Amino acid sequence: MGKLFGKIALKSMIKSEKPFDKNIPTSERFKVKVSEGDLESEKNKWIGLIRNYEHYDNPKFVHDFFGKMSNEQIGILVYKHTDHHLRQFGL
C-alpha cells in the first residue's frame, strides 16, 4: 500500500518546480546525526556527494517509500531535496 501511495506522492512532488514543504518525514536510513561543531566537515562531505552525483548510475535503486525510480525522477528528487536543505540555511 505504501509503495502505491509513494508513486502518487512522487509524481506530485516532481511534477512542478514548487519547492518541498517543510517537515516532510525522512526515512531513518537517510537521517544523518551531526555532532556539535562538525558542520563544516558534513558540508564538505555533502559537496563531494553532490559532485559525485554527476556520475550516479544505479538501475536497481528502489526507494523505501517511492519504490523503483527512473534516473530522471531521482535527479529531480535530489535537486529538490538539495534545494530544500539549502533553503533551511537561508542559502
Where residue 48 falls among pLDDT bands split at 50, 70, 90?
very high
- What is the average per-residue pLDDT within 51-70? 86
Cα–Cα distance measured from residue 69 to residue 10, given in angstroms and rounded to the nearest whole number: 9
pLDDT averaged over every residue in the chain: 83
Please give the pLDDT value at position 83: 92
User: Quick check: is 24 in a domain?
Assistant: no
To which H or E segment does residue 14 belong? helix 2-14
- Looking at the structure of the chain, the number of domains it has is 1
Cα–Cα distance measured from residue 39 to residue 12, given in angstroms and rounded to the nearest whole number: 32
User: Quick check: is 45 in a domain?
Assistant: yes
> SS3 of 7, please?
helix
- What is the average per-residue pLDDT within 79-88? 88
DSSP β-bridge partners for residue 67: 63
Instruction: Show the domain range for 79.
Output: 2-14+37-88
User: Quick check: is 32 in a domain?
Assistant: no
**CA 73 and chain centroid, separation:** 11
Place of cell 531513518: 28
